[in-house]
């Protein structure tokens, strides 16, 4: 799947973190390692910015 399609699809879930999406769009290579790293970063973002997620320790992905 092309990188643009991956970014578009994940943007549906990460719409509250546009700066993270922008960084993902600017990655030179898209592979599983990069993709998983961004998921981890997004989970950390949600944990720090979403009271309910922080209280329950939930992860969105």
Could you give the percent of the chain with pLDDT greater than 90? Answer: 28
Cβ-proximal residues to 8 (8 Å cutoff; 6+ apart), any chain: none
Per-residue pLDDT at 26:
93
pLDDT at 52 over 80: no
User: Residues, the chain, total?
Assistant: 61
- Output the six-digit token pair for 11: 């943007």
- Output the six-digit token pair for 47: 């944990």
Mean pLDDT, rounded, for 26-47: 89
Per-residue pLDDT at 47:
82
Distance, CA of 27 to CA of 51 (rounded, Å):
30
**Category of 57 on φ-ψ map: left (φ > 0), alpha (ψ -120 to 50) or beta:** left
Mean pLDDT, rounded, for 5-18: 87
């Amino acid at each position: 799947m092309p990188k643009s399609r991956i970014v578009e699809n994940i943007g549906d879930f990460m719409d509250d973190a546009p700066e993270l999406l922008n960084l993902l769009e600017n990655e030179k290579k898209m592979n599983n390692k990069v993709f998983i790293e961004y998921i981890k970063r997004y989970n950390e973002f949600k944990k720090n910015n979403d009271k309910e997620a922080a209280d329950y320790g939930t992860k969105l992905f």
